[in-house]
Chain A
């Protein structure tokens, strides 16, 4: 299988997956988490997609991602992280401080959850930085 064929098949599979997820979400009135049975087909479709894509990857003849593409992807991830994290932090502060004023109990709760997500993001960054620094010869 060539890289071009692989990309075509992967795109087709992704569209199918999005269709399946959307269909199940609509079928369960956008609240599939209320019943584990409703969530199951979505998880199954996701799992199947991941397995099929990883199997297809092994059959590809050619370069899927070279060092330039990896560098581009790393830069994009870095920029996304640099934008997303301050946004999340600001949103959480705004929601937590405005929650009482707005008198919506869930606003404050949502702000708290977002602040934890922000902390988790920072923690993952610190741990991965520490790991990769050690890997590349840092103390």
Chain B
């Protein structure tokens, strides 16, 4: 079991680069890349920020599977 995410899908939908998303949520581009590749699990606060950036609930972006 692990936390997966759909950040890449949402980014493509919103036509947003990693750099732009990183700027919105206040992290580095490397962190967004690490989250997308499931190499880093973000804190709850960052997960909410990312979900807010796409105007969706956190459960739509992050999935426990």
B27 to chain A, nearest CB (A): 4
Q: Which residues of A contact B43 (CB under 8 A)?
A: 67
Q: Which of B27, B34, B40, B42 contacts A63 (CB 8 A)?
A: B27
Of B22, B26, B28, B30, most A-chain CB atoms within 10 Å: B28
- B56 at the A/B interface (Cβ < 8 Å)? no
Contact with A along B5-48 (1 / 0, CB 8 A): 00000000000000000100011101100100000101100100
Q: Which residues of B contact A67 (CB under 8 A)?
A: 27, 31, 42-43, 46
Give A6 to B59 CA distance when docked, in angstroms.
37
Contact A68 B34, beta carbon cutoff 8 Å: yes
Q: Which residues of A contact B40 (CB under 8 A)?
A: 68, 71
Of A63, A68, A69, most B-chain CB atoms within 10 Å: A68
Q: Which residues of A contact B27 (CB under 8 A)?
A: 63, 66-68
B41 to chain A, nearest CB (A): 10
Give A68 to B36 CA distance when docked, in angstroms.
13
List chain A positions with a Cβ less than 8 A from chain B: 63, 66-69, 71
New A-B pairs, 8, CB < 8 Å, besides A63-B28, A66-B28: A63-B22, A63-B27, A66-B27, A67-B42, A68-B27, A68-B28, A68-B30, A68-B34
